[in-house]
Structures are given as C-alpha cells and as structure tokens.
Chains A and B, each alone.
Chain A
Amino acid sequence: MSNVLEVKNLIVKFDNEKVINNLSFKINKGEFLTIVGPNGSGKTVLLRSLLGLISQYEGEINWDKKVKIGYLPQSLTHLKVKDMPLTVKEFLCLKNINDDKIAELLKLVGLNNDILKKLIGNLSGGQFQRMLMVWALANEPNVLLFDEPTTGVDMGGEKTIYDLLYKIWEEKKITIILITHDLNIVYKYSTDVLCVSKNNICHSSPKEVLLPEMLEEIYDMPIKFYKHNH
C-alpha cells in the first residue's frame, strides 16, 4: 500500500507555545483515519496545517502528488450564513460545478433537487452539512478531510452524517481523515486512529486506542468507552 501523506517531525507554534510538538505519522491509501484527543490538543491546527491553511510550521508535510483534497471546515455552520441572500444553487456555482454533477452528488448525499432554490441560511444543520459535502466531493477528491462534520447538527442527524461518510468511503474507495469526539464512530468505522494529546501521540488501530488505559492517557482522565451493539 502506498502513502498518501507523510508527516515528519511536525512542530507548530503559536506565540512560541508549541501546539503540535514533533508529530510524525503516515497515512496509507484507503485509510479511514480518525483523529482524537482532548480539546486544545491541536487536532484542528494539525488538519489546518495539512491543508496549507497554516503556513508557518517546522518539519515536513508531504502529500502524494496525485492527491486531490476535499475539505469541510469546522467553523462553517448554517448559523454563520443565516442572513446571506445566497441559494444552494448559487453557492455550489461558486465552485463552477455543472448541473449534472450537482444532481448526481445531491442524490449521493440524500438531498432533494428542490433544495437548490432554498437560501443556504434557511437549511437545517444536517442539510447544510450535506450541501458542504456536495461542495467537498465536487472535484472528485481522493482524500477527504473533515473537522467535526456534525457541528450544528442535532443528535439524530449526527448518525446519518457519519453513515453517509462511511458510505462515500466505501463506494468511492477514497482516503478519509476525520476529527471527531464521538468514540463510537472511531470504533464503528475507522480503520486507524491517530491520537494527539500533551503526553502521548499514538497511531494504531481503534481496538487498541479504545482500551481504558489508553483513553485515560490520551484524555488525562478516566474515560470508559462502552461498545454499543446496534
């Protein structure tokens, strides 16, 4: 299996404080990698550095040359665009997606064509995230990066968003890099886990990471993961 990404000795500093300290890992093609870790451990900073949104870092970030990235930012929710006079169609056209592609992707993410005429600020949290997924998938990416894609989505909707992600991963045989707090998702879907925390950096399989001793080390407090058998 070939690498899509190799990170070597990555250090990111803000005001001389190291947010990411000497992180090295590789991601194989076709991995469903979840990134876990406590708040403030640098998960989002890591993802933003990988995307090139943070340009000042030490170390190496090497993407495979054939990589095409799709991305869903954490900060963007339907509430942020509440009063924008911009329809779903107009939003998607900002990326020059043609009509056929839009129709195909809407179907994939489970949205109806009627939604195109709605203002993006009037969508529900779930609909908005699905629309962003259409955006992210438009240029046929082979790597998808998601930062808590269920921000602003209610409890019931969260599960369907993750189910959808898994479906896309299976169907399109792409690599997914996902930040999430939901350990159930880690257990159920991911093939690999990267944990980032002050005292520990690990990269291994979900089964190992989700052991109580391991979780306690990552989150610096006793956390027990209960396996749900649906």
Chain B
Amino acid sequence: MTKQFLLSLISGVFIGGAAGYIGALMLQKRMALAAGPLGHLALPGVALALVYGFNTSLGAFSFILLGIFLIWLLELKTNLPTEALTAIVFSSGVAIGFLFLPIEQAEAALVGNITSISWQETFITVLLCIVVVVITKVIFSKMMLINVSEDLAKIEGINIKKYNLVYLVLIAIVVALGVKLVGALLTAALVAIPTATARNLSNSNKLYKILSLVFGVLAPIIGLIIFKFTNLSAGILIIISSAVLFLISMFIKKKYE
C-alpha cells in the first residue's frame, strides 16, 4: 500500500462517514437533494482554485457560503419559493464555474481528485470531519424534534433558527470536502445514499444513525480498493459502490418483511 493511497483512504473514510452521519438528518428534513445544488454552487470556487492553484475544498466552501447567503437574500427580497431560488442560484453557479474551469482540469472538479490529496489536506480533512460528526451528535436529538414538529420544539425552548444555522454550516463543510472526494456534481450521493441504505435496515433511530455512518465509511473503502485494481476514477467508483450497497439493502429489507 503506497503512502498516497493510504492518505486517500483515510480522507475518504472520514469524509464518507461525516457525510453519511449528517445525511441521516438531511433525509429526515427531506433535504437530501439539497447537497446537490450546494455542490454545484461550489463549482466556480473549485474552478478558481484550480486556476490559481489553491485547495479546491477551500474554494468550494467559500462559494457555498456565498450561494447560501444569496438564496437567503433573495428569499427576503422576493416571494418566490426556495426551490426556485436555489435553481436560479445553483445553475448560475454551474455556468460561471464552466466559464473559468480550465478544460484539462475539468475532471478534478467534476468527479473529484481524492487520489492526489496531500498529507496536509488529509490532516485538515480529518480534523474538520471530526468536528462535523461531534457537533452533529450534539445537535442530533434537538434537530430530530424540530423535524417531528417545529411547534413542539419551540415550546421546549429550542431556538430553531440557531440550530438550522449551525446545521447549514456543517452541511457546507461536508459538501466542500465532498467535492474533493467525488466532485461537485455528485456530492448529493454522499449524503443521500448511505442514509437511504441505513433507513432500509433500521427499526430505530439509534441503529439508523450508526448504519448511516457505517455505510458512509464503507463506500469509499470499497470504491478506493476497486480503484487500486482498475485505475478508473475513484469518485465515480465510490458512488457506484454506495449505490450497490443500497441495492443489497433492498434485498435484505425484503427478507425482513
């Protein structure tokens, strides 16, 4: 096992796990697809990062925050539904992204470049993922209550706006890191598929949380091992592995019933 492969594996496992874990809340809020537009928003940031040679996740993160801010601002100024505003902002993001994106480096932006991650990047990735998982764990039960009923949560004295803001920032971090792992176009799969797989196999919230994390971790491991033997794109292999795990869970679920 080469050092480069090990670094990819470590960061893959951490990003996948964090994305699966926070995805468990996104699926409940019916926000699983929101990671898609957010990843697309990151595209201009990734493009700039590639042109000027800085970290793609950093570029992605700043543009995701900018995008969220724009959606929030448009929501205040217009009466249009959030979905419509998200569509406007994220498609503009993609268009602007392609305007800057150097075509010979497009692959890194579109399907990720985890297999060339440096040890410094790995270190920061691991650190950020731990932060995301820990904070998600802290806010999880409150977020669950908000998902069940905002009224009940308010009566219990939960500051919904504050929790949603923390939650949104965590998602922005995960999506920005996910761009490195599977590219800007596929980040939704990182949060949506492992949690859907976990949902198929759980009969309690506790199991659901654990399985979301486990399947989030498993997909990059399987994907990167296949990459080692085939040299196909790692990002694509990770998503396909995740999808295959989901299919298997469907069969197991059938057996359960």
Please report A residues at the B interface, Cβ cutoff 8 Å: 48, 51-53, 69, 71, 73, 75-76, 80-81, 83-87, 90-91, 93-95, 117, 119-120, 135
Cβ A75 vs Cβ B205 within 8 A: no
User: Is B145 interfacial (CB-CB < 8 Å)?
Assistant: yes
Please report B residues at the A interface, Cβ cutoff 8 Å: 28, 141, 144-145, 147-149, 151-152, 154-156, 199, 202-208
Which of B141, B145, B149, B202 sits near A85, CB closer than 8 Å?
B202
Of all chain B residues, the one with the shortest Cβ separation from A94 is B145
Closest-CB distance, B79 to chain A (whole angstroms)? 12
How far is A84 from B205 in the complex, measured between Cα atoms in Å?
8
Cβ A90 vs Cβ B148 within 8 A: no
Cβ A119 vs Cβ B203 within 8 A: yes
How far is A3 from B92 in the complex, measured between Cα atoms in Å?
59
Cβ B203 vs Cβ A76 within 8 A: no
Of all chain B residues, the one with the shortest Cβ separation from A51 is B155
Cβ A85 vs Cβ B203 within 8 A: yes
How far is A48 from B206 in the complex, measured between Cα atoms in Å?
33
Closest-CB distance, A137 to chain B (whole angstroms)? 14
Cβ A87 vs Cβ B144 within 8 A: no
Closest-CB distance, A92 to chain B (whole angstroms)? 11
How far is A87 from B203 in the complex, measured between Cα atoms in Å?
8
Q: Which residues of A contact B28 (CB under 8 A)?
A: 84
Interface contact tally, CB-CB below 8 A: 56
Cβ A87 vs Cβ B204 within 8 A: yes
Closest-CB distance, B28 to chain A (whole angstroms)? 6
Q: Which residues of B contact A84 (CB under 8 A)?
A: 28, 147-148
Cβ A85 vs Cβ B208 within 8 A: yes
21 A-B pairs in the complex with CB atoms less than 8 angstroms apart: A48-B151, A51-B155, A53-B154, A71-B151, A73-B149, A75-B151, A76-B148, A76-B149, A83-B199, A84-B147, A85-B199, A85-B204, A86-B148, A86-B204, A87-B205, A90-B204, A94-B144, A117-B203, A117-B204, A119-B203, A119-B204
Cβ B152 vs Cβ A73 within 8 A: yes
Q: Chain B interface secondary structure, helix, strand, loop or mixed?
A: helix
Q: Which residues of B contact A94 (CB under 8 A)?
A: 141, 144-145, 148
Cβ B148 vs Cβ A81 within 8 A: yes
How far is A99 from B183 in the complex, measured between Cα atoms in Å?
47
Which of A53, A80, A86, A135 sits near B205, CB closer than 8 Å?
A86
Q: Which residues of B contact A90 (CB under 8 A)?
A: 204-206
Cβ A75 vs Cβ B149 within 8 A: yes
Q: Which residues of B contact A85 (CB under 8 A)?
A: 199, 202-205, 207-208
How far is A73 from B148 in the complex, measured between Cα atoms in Å?
11
Q: Which residues of B contact A69 (CB under 8 A)?
A: 155
How far is A53 from B156 in the complex, measured between Cα atoms in Å?
11
How far is A33 from B68 in the complex, measured between Cα atoms in Å?
46
How far is A91 from B145 in the complex, measured between Cα atoms in Å?
8
Q: Which residues of B contact A95 (CB under 8 A)?
A: 156
How far is A74 from B88 in the complex, measured between Cα atoms in Å?
35
Closest-CB distance, B143 to chain A (whole angstroms)? 10
Q: Which residues of A contact B205 (CB under 8 A)?
A: 85-87, 90
Closest-CB distance, B162 to chain A (whole angstroms)? 16
How far is A41 from B154 in the complex, measured between Cα atoms in Å?
24
Q: Which residues of A contact B206 (CB under 8 A)?
A: 90
Cβ B141 vs Cβ A76 within 8 A: no
How far is A117 from B207 in the complex, measured between Cα atoms in Å?
13
Cβ B155 vs Cβ A71 within 8 A: yes
Of all chain A residues, the one with the shortest Cβ separation from B211 is A85
How far is A135 from B145 in the complex, measured between Cα atoms in Å?
12
Closest-CB distance, B252 to chain A (whole angstroms)? 15
Q: Which residues of A contact B207 (CB under 8 A)?
A: 85
Given contacts A71-B152, A76-B152, A85-B205, 10 further A-B contacts (CB under 8 A): A53-B155, A73-B151, A75-B151, A76-B149, A80-B149, A87-B203, A90-B204, A90-B205, A95-B156, A120-B148
